[in-house]
Amino acid sequence: MRLLVTGAAGMLGTDLVAAAGRAGHDALALARTDLDVLDAAAVRAAVGDARADAVVNCAAYTDVDGAEAEEAAATALNGAAAGHVAAAAHAAGAFTVQVSSDYVFDGRGAEPYVESSPTAPLGAYGRSKLAGEHAVAAAAPGTHAIARTAWLFGAHGPNFVATMLRLAGERDALSVVDDQVGCPTFTGHLAPALIALAEARAAGIHHVAGSGACSWFDLAAATFAARGLDVELARGRTEDLGRPAPRPAYSVLRTERADTPVLPPWQQGLHAYLEETVTA
């Protein structure tokens, strides 16, 4: 399969290109400097020239707090640009895999969200990602997959686990929020799952996140335990952080589809990440 990856220099995009190569696929990697996905004409030209069987769109506005002040910019990149990519792929006969987010849900429930659960984003970032879902569905009817995922961490970009390890080297005690529960997802596990969706041309919405669930506090504690770090951890509250963007308190993702790849438990993802970053 010939695979085109947009946003290929990011944390997920880097792992995706590597996973495609390991699977024997021909991957064409386009970073932000190679393709401005906001430019519909440029996207049409690039996708047409690529002659790809599938396009995975990893280009995204990812600053959750920044989106509150820059919703138009976030929506342009996460919404309209996603539609440009899907429309170009559809015209070229290629299948689109669009990466979306648990932030399309309000997190006010107590049961895992499945693909058919009603969406109700709390903030600008979630609204922008939902706009992308709608744009892709409209631009590529029957030839797209929307992969909602959550709490990404990987070796090729800034992430929560890396931040915790850095802070552990600077402080003896930390407070980490314990009132947000979700599914930590290792990009090294997510990448091959996205490729599998492209291979199968498994159309529609899929929830693809690390199996199990935990709070940010739990993830920090597991990180320190795995590295043998002695850090005093206190349970914090989201409201005490004073962040601009609201966060869903409970955004656990599960799938109701038999054709959706199931990722390993988040603990396995954490250990794989820690092993990769030790040897990197």
Q: Which residues are catalytic?
A: 125
**Rg, C-alpha atoms of the chain:** 18
Q: What share of the chain is helix, strand, coil (3-state, %, to 5)?
A: 45, 20, 40
CB 53 within 8 A of CB 5: no
CB 101 within 8 A of CB 126: yes
How far does CA 278 lie from the centroid of its chain?
A: 23
CB 1 within 8 A of CB 24: no
Give the Cα separation of 61 and 32 in Å (integer). 11
How far from 83 is each of 77, 105, 106, 133, 147, CA to CA, in Å? 9, 21, 24, 8, 15
How far from 75 is each of 13, 63, 87, 261, CA to CA, in Å? 20, 12, 17, 28
Give the Cα separation of 79 and 127 in Å (integer). 9
